[in-house]
Structure 1
Amino acid sequence: MIQLLFTVLFCQMAFILLLVFKTPLRKLVILGLDRLKRGRGPVVVKTVAGTVLLVFSSSVYSMVGIQNRWTEEGAVINPTDQVILANHLLEATLMGGLLFLALMIDRLHHYMRELRIRRKSLEALKKQRDYNVLEDEVTELRAKLKRLEADVEAKNKEVSSSKASAVALKKQSDGFVVEFDRLQGENQTLKNKLQSLDFKLSRSGSKKDS
């Protein structure tokens, strides 16, 4: 019985060390405890804990009975009772430590699971916040893109208008050139006519003089 209690006690201490320190085996221990708390696991654990508590109470009751018997008998101390008392005391101490360590393992596992859940929640919240920030940036960039597209469209309209004006000015300039050529031709024709008239007038004047 005592050897079994020592074995269980050392196993519990090893479990606590594995839970406290970050080692590759900690995940396996947590996974095992998670599975232990599912299905019939809690019922079995409570049954074992109740049995240990009952034996612990029995040992304490036996120690109290021996102490009372010593008190009633006076100073007479039986060596057998001393051995039995020491045995019960050792068993009660080991079982009390066993129950305490079991409670500590349960609380450590609970708090570590809560910490893991909260950490995941914080990571999810951080990702959501980063996503919202990125979404805001994307919205802002889309708005800037729309403004740039509007500016480009306005510039394109201005360029088209400028091109149309340039084409109109070119057509008007071509018209002016044609008109200038026509006027220049008429001017040359008039000059030729004037020269012809001057020549005729000069000839007729010379004939009269002769």
Structure 2
Amino acid sequence: MISVLYSLVFAQMALILALLFRTLLRNLLIVGIDHLKRGEVPLVAKTVVAIFVMEIHKRALESGVVNSTDEVLMAEKLLEASPMGFSLFLAMMTDRLHYYIKELYLVRNELEEVKKLKVDYGSKKNRTMEENEGTES
């Protein structure tokens, strides 16, 4: 279980690094993350996290006295919980990074549209000024 969690952590770290640099892979990842967010994946992730939390909480409540076997099991669960928590943190970072990149694309597109409108307005203004000067002469 621990090796799977560490593999998940390293995969998420690679995903974050791929999202940080502007490449074709980043565009592909953004589209893929968009599709994941629209599907049932968030529901599944929340369910898995809730099951793990309930399992740990249930074991702590079942036995009032902790013997040595339970201590070893609790240490193993704690060892599993650390990469799991870090994985959740990296998932949150990936989500926010995806959100900011999408917002950046939207702002850039709007900025380009404003620049085009400004150039169009400037050229119309120059044409009207030239027409006015031509009629006055």
TM bin (shorter chain): 0.7 to 0.9
Is 1:26 the equivalent of 2:15? no
Q: 1:104 to 1:111 in 2, by over 3 A?
A: same
The alignment partner of 1:13 has SS state of helix
Kept in 2: contact 1:19–1:108 (CA 8 A): yes
Q: 1:143 to 1:66 in 2, by over 3 A?
A: same
Q: 2:53: which partner in 1?
A: 57
Kept in 2: contact 1:2–1:91 (CA 8 A): yes
Match of 2:43 among 43, 47, 51: 47
Kept in 2: contact 1:59–1:92 (CA 8 A): no
User: Comparing both chains, which one has the higher relative contact order based on Cα–Cα distances under 8 Å and sequence gaps of 6 or more?
Assistant: 2
Unaligned runs of 5+ in 1: 71-76, 149-210
The alignment partner of 1:69 has SS state of coil
The two structures have a TM-score, normalised by structure 1, of 0.57
Deviations 1:37-88 (A, max 9, x none): 33xx1xx222222222123313541564489523xxxxxx51x323311221
Aligned counterparts, 1:70-109, within 5 A = 70=66, 77-78=67-68, 80-109=69-98
Aligned counterparts, 1:51-200, within 5 A = 51-61=47-57, 64-65=60-61, 68-70=64-66, 77-78=67-68, 80-148=69-137
Unaligned runs of 5+ in 2: none
The alignment partner of 2:65 has SS state of helix
Task: Report the Cα distance in structure 2 between the residues aligned to 1:25 and 1:67, rounded to whole angstroms.
Answer: 50
Task: Report the Cα distance in structure 1 between the residues aligned to 2:100 and 2:89, rounded to whole angstroms.
Answer: 16
Q: 1:133 to 1:93 in 2, by over 3 A?
A: same
Q: Which of structures 1 and 2 has the bigger CA Rg?
A: 1
Q: 2:14: which partner in 1?
A: 14
Kept in 2: contact 1:12–1:102 (CA 8 A): yes
Kept in 2: contact 1:12–1:101 (CA 8 A): yes
Task: Report the Cα distance in structure 2 between the residues aligned to 1:10 and 1:67, rounded to whole angstroms.
Answer: 35
Sequence identity, in percent?
Answer: 41
Kept in 2: contact 1:59–1:88 (CA 8 A): no
Task: State the Cα distance separating 1:95 from its structure 2 match.
Answer: 2.0
The size of the alignment, in residue pairs, is: 137
Task: Report the Cα distance in structure 2 between the residues aligned to 1:67 and 1:130, rounded to whole angstroms.
Answer: 74
